[in-house]
Amino acid sequence: MNQLDALKQFTTVVADTGDFKQIEAYQPTDATTNPSLILKAVQKPEYRSLLTDTVAQFPGRALDEITDRLLVRFGCEILSIVPGRVSTEVDARLSFDSNATITRAERIIELYQAQGIHIDRVLIKVASTWEGIQAAAELERRGIHTNLTLLFSFCQAVACGQARVQLISPFVGRIYDWYKKSAGAGWVEADNTGAHDPGVQSVTQIYNYYKKFGIATEVMGASFRNVGQIIALAGCDLLTISPELLATLAQSTAPLTRALDAQSAQALDLTPVNFDEASFRFALNQDAMATEKLAEGIRAFCTDAAKLDQLLLGS
């Protein structure tokens, strides 16, 4: 058995790509996209027609609507391949506007439904800002399931659990990147791998907390830099993995065993915590890594959203 098949025994495997032609080979259950992945895909010749066709079909429509229609077009193609769900992201430029996020999310769902896609097969991705989490809470109350992304801290995870969001995506690799850069010459790679990787430790803490206190929100580790990070999180509810790392797992027959376990988490001595807006903002502020990576991630997605706008305008 290869490592990918072994991982699937413990964890739902999700493909992290906008390149739906790469997905089928690895037979993931779900797939996730983001503005950067869609931008990368539409610049490939084999996907360019999705962009030009979408623009041609809806002349004179607002740019944000055309963007959402393109995202849904990719999502529908992905859903024709995977048996589960696809995550589609609300424009990151709305990350601090709860009402606008809700409105945009509802339109995305309506576009999917117009294509015959059931609401339960779509997760709306929203940045894990305070405003994003509150928007997600309202969307969940309206029956629209959410995936809270750009999640780097324990306080973000706790607030998402309180909001009863469907799923969170803690970013393993970006946490690792920050600590490695911060340590500089003092970084010792051998001391920060596997269970000692700071990104792995963050997801493990969140997973154990959720399982200890019966929080139903699914934990999906994301943003991996190497296979070791994935192996150290085997047993997490879901892991969203790039095609490159899926290929590496599929080519290896090295042993892979469960690393995270819900029953073990329930035996841990943990204290429940709660966050209101003030305490959330303070806790996030006190976490330099999470503060920096959240801001950086939103900026990067906004930059790529603007680039996608220019491609649409030029078509």
Q: 3-state DSSP call for residue 7?
A: helix
Give domain 3-313's CATH superfamily: Aldolase class I (3.20.20.70)
pLDDT given at position 315: 83
d(CA 308, CA 91) in angstroms, rounded, equals 11
Digitized pLDDT (tens) for each residue of the chain, 315 residues in all: 999 999 999 999 999 999 988 898 899 999 998 889 999 999 999 999 999 999 999 999 999 999 999 999 999 999 999 999 999 999 999 999 999 999 999 999 999 999 999 999 999 999 999 999 999 999 999 999 999 999 999 999 999 999 999 999 999 999 999 999 999 999 999 999 999 999 999 999 999 999 999 999 999 999 999 999 999 999 999 999 999 999 999 999 999 999 999 999 999 999 999 999 999 999 999 999 999 999 999 999 999 999 999 999 998
SS (H, E, C) 263-274: HHHHCCCCCCCC
pLDDT given at position 35: 82
146-151 and 167-170 as β-strands: parallel, antiparallel, unpaired?
parallel
- Count the Cβ atoms, other than its own, within 10 Å of residue 263: 7
d(CA 208, CA 264) in angstroms, rounded, equals 8
Q: 3-state DSSP call for residue 44?
A: coil
- CA dihedral (162, 164, 166, 167) in degrees, to 10, reads 0
pTM: 0.96
pLDDT given at position 304: 96
pLDDT given at position 20: 87
Q: 3-state DSSP call for residue 164?
A: coil
Backbone angles phi, psi at 269, to 5 degrees: -90, 90
d(CA 13, CA 158) in angstroms, rounded, equals 24
d(CA 105, CA 146) in angstroms, rounded, equals 9
162, 272 in Cβ contact below 8 A?
no
Active site residue 125: yes
User: Which two three-digit tokens encode residue 38?
Assistant: 């869609």
d(CA 70, CA 220) in angstroms, rounded, equals 25
- Set 8, 125, 212, 293: catalytic member: 125
Partners of 124 in beta bridges: 88, 146
Amino acid at 192: N
d(CA 291, CA 311) in angstroms, rounded, equals 31
pLDDT given at position 21: 87
User: Which two three-digit tokens encode residue 19?
Assistant: 């390149």
CB within 8 Å of 151: residues ≥ 6 apart? 128, 157, 160, 168, 169, 170, 171
CB within 8 Å of 176: residues ≥ 6 apart? 192, 197, 198, 199, 225, 229
